Amino acid sequence: MKHALLIISMLLLTACGQGGTPPGQMSERDKREYAQMQKEIGQTFIQILPSQWQSATLMLKAPEAGLDVGEVIPNIIAPGKQKEAIFPSMALINIIKEFQLKSVKHKLHWKKARFSVFRNGDEWVIDNQLYFEDR
């Protein structure tokens, strides 16, 4: 079953602290591609969730040395008291890696990225935020 998606905030990039090129310095094409990639992360994340889940959060943590060194660490946070363990699919890992590489290319050196998804009737809502300083 295909889910319609409502994207609340595709690209909330407030450059805080050190690092990170404001998104205004990306071309319009690059901004669209970057936003599309964030949407794809949300959509791919939704595909691995158990059907009974109404919400979940995917947290991405950049390597200590920076996005251009090492792998981003994904962490799936279950809603409420859910005990079921969920692991990233290869498709999700691949799109996260592409997102990491595109972030490095555009000097968007975020520390954490949050992708929260929740059901609103038959639709899924994706809300994401990039954090440019430790929180």
CATH code for the domain of 80: 3.30.500
Handedness of CA 21, 35, 58, 89 (dihedral sign): negative
Tell me the pTM: 0.79
Residue 12 has pLDDT above 80, yes or no: no
Q: What is the pLDDT of residue 134?
A: 58
Closest CA to 82 of 51, 113, 115, 44: 51
Confidence band for 4, pLDDT divided at 50, 70 and 90 = very low
The partner residues of 120 in beta bridges, in order of sequence, read: 123
30-58 pLDDT tens trace: 888 889 999 999 999 999 999 889 999 99
Give me the mean pLDDT over the 59-70 stretch: 90
- Name which residue leads in pLDDT, 97 or 20: 97
How many folded domains does the chain comprise?
1
Query: Residue 64's domain spans which residues?
Result: 5-131
69-123 pLDDT tens trace: 889 999 999 888 777 888 999 999 999 999 999 999 888 889 999 999 999 998 9
Backbone angles phi, psi at 85, to 5 degrees: -80, 140
Question: Which three-class secondary structure state does DSSP give residue 83?
Answer: coil
Output the six-digit token pair for 117. 């998804």
Contact 135, 110 (CB under 8 A): no
